């Protein structure tokens, strides 16, 4: 198999799906690995590093046209995707449901598209769970961003001039990003509270030394490993439960996302207006609409002295570490779906086939197919 690794399409995203370490592993299995020129520069890997590991360095146009299996970070542009070999395979974060133009072209070119954000969260898939690995990086960086922007020290400080009380942090959403945010804020000395609609999250929060904010009337709201939206009555109960804690918070870290859907609004404008001046909201869900009602995806805003910072795809701000994790996820995935003869076999494990976005001219991911059917031809670009 000829396996290609492309640079990120986003100039602000220096992540890449291969490191020299994983290239050596893949070539050791007999795969022919090609890396786009300059793809690893921002992650600290030169073209020479990849060459020494056994890869060939090629230009982007050749990479897309030649690869039998192509690994990307985010969705490629429609222009680049149009050059991919018909019937090839594409692996990466492909934004199911959201990137409808992309899904349509994938079907037209009969590409076997594997969206890594759809990899099931089951024990056997943990080593290839790229969504979790990148979320962990994002949760860590979100807290550092909050610490840098808010008008408050994180730790308790007892000085001759008096005592500085620790910062109060509220984390909304206790998935991988939320748990990492809790752990990081605790290490920096803050007092931390957290909320999630999954009742099982309470034990995880408390094990990290934080307090869990319970929602009256909610026992568990989850779909597998993911939270889901509450109904109108329970949403109101959640806002009421959160309001007094948000009013005292120096920083709120928003991490609640539901794959393939708009992010739930957990932080209303009224709640933000009650926060102390100089406090910060960091919204990791900004790309999907945001958990804060006032989040502007185009950039930071100030609302009554509260700084609201959109932070989509925050893992890209640490390209070296994020790439190392993502590359290992991809290597583990390929080890599972590439045969000893070097052939792609996405049906090797029935439990993993849920990450198939498209194949043989058909969009297989039901929510994406439904969104395509609902969108008229003139609406596709706007929906992407």
Distance, first Cα to last Cα, the chain: 31
pLDDT at residue 383, rounded to an integer:
45
Catalytic option among 132, 133, 238, 313: 132
Catalytic option among 8, 50, 109, 129: 129
Reported as a pLDDT band with limits 50, 70 and 90, residue 350 is confident
**381 three-state secondary structure:** helix
- 246-270 mean pLDDT: 92
Which CATH architecture describes the domain 135-312?
Answer: 3-Layer(aba) Sandwich (3.40)
User: Is residue 168 flagged as an active site residue?
Assistant: no
Catalytic option among 2, 29, 66, 121: 121
Using alpha carbons, select from 313, 264, 311, 280 the residue that is nearest to residue 169: 280
Catalytic option among 46, 126, 157, 207: 126
Query: What is the CATH number assigned to the segment(s) 2-128+320-383?
Result: 3.40.50.720
Structure-token match 């934004």, residue found: 95
For the beta carbon of residue 383, count every other beta carbon within 10 angstroms.
Answer: 15
Question: What would the two tokens of residue 145 be?
Answer: 């961003």
Instruction: Convert the pLDDT of each residue in 281-311 to its tens digit.
Output: 999 999 999 999 999 999 999 999 999 999 9
- 306-330 mean pLDDT: 97
Q: Which helix (H) or strand (E) holds 310?
A: strand 306-310
Alpha-helical runs (H) found in 29-129: 47-53, 60-66, 78-81, 100-108
pLDDT at residue 375, rounded to an integer:
84
Catalytic option among 66, 110, 226, 336: 226
pLDDT averaged over every residue in the chain: 92
User: Is residue 248 flagged as an active site residue?
Assistant: no
Residue 236 and residue 264 in contact, taking contact as beta carbons nearer than 8 Å: no
Structure-model confidence comparison of residues 217 and 41, the more confident one: 41
CA-to-CA distance for 366 and 239, rounded, in angstroms? 32
CA distances from 133 to 80, 322, 352 (A): 27, 8, 18
Instruction: Convert the pLDDT of each residue in 127-166 to its tens digit.
Output: 999 999 999 999 999 999 999 999 999 999 998 998 889 9
Name the pTM for this structure.
Answer: 0.90
User: Is residue 207 flagged as an active site residue?
Assistant: no
pLDDT at residue 43 is higher than 70: yes
**41 three-state secondary structure:** helix
The residues of the chain that CATH labels 3.40.50.720 are: 2-128+320-383, 135-312
CA distances from 46 to 18, 21, 33, 49, 322 (A): 12, 13, 15, 5, 17
């Amino acid at each position: 198999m000829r396996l290609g690794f492309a640079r990120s399409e986003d100039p602000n995203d220096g992540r890449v799906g291969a490191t020299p370490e994983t290239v050596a592993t893949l070539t050791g299995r007999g795969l022919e690995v090609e890396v786009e020129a300059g793809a690893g520069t921002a992650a600290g890997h030169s073209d020479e590093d990849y060459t020494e590991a056994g890869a060939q360095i090629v230009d982007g146009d050749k990479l897309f046209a030649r690869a039998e299996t192509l690994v990307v970070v985010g969705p490629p542009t429609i222009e680049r995707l149009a050059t991919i070999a018909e019937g090839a395979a594409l692996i990466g974060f492909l934004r199911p449901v959201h990137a409808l133009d992309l899904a349509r072209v994938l079907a037209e070119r009969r590409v076997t598209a594997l969206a890594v954000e759809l990899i099931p969260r089951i024990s056997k898939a943990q080593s290839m769970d790229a969504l979790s690995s990148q979320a962990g990086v994002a949760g860590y960086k979100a807290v550092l961003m909050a610490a840098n922007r808010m008008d408050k020290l994180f730790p308790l400080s007892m000085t001759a001039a008096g005592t500085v009380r620790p910062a109060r942090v509220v984390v909304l959403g206790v998935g991988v990003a939320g748990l990492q945010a809790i752990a990081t804020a605790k290490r920096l000395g803050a007092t931390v509270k957290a909320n999630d609609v999954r009742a099982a999250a309470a034990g995880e929060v408390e094990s990290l030394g934080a307090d869990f904010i319970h929602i009256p009337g909610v026992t568990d709201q989850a779909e597998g490993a993911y939270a889901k939206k509450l109904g109108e009555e329970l949403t109101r109960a959640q806002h009421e439960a959160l309001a007094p804690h948000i009013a005292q918070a120096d920083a709120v870290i928003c991490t609640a996302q539901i794959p393939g859907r708009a992010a739930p609004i957990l932080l209303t404008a009224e709640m933000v207006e009650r926060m102390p001046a100089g406090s910060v909201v960091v919204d990791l869900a900004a790309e999907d609409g945001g958990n804060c009602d006032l989040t502007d995806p185009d950039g930071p805003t100030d609302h009554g002295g509260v700084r609201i910072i959109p932070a989509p795809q925050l893992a890209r701000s640490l390209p070296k570490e994020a790439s190392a994790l993502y590359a290992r996820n991809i290597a583990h995935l390929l080890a599972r779906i590439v045969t000893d003869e070097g052939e792609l076999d996405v049906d090797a494990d029935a439990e993993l086939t849920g990450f198939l976005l498209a194949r043989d001219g058909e969009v297989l991911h039901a929510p994406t197919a439904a969104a395509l059917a609902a969108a008229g031809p003139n609406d596709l670009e706007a929906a992407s």
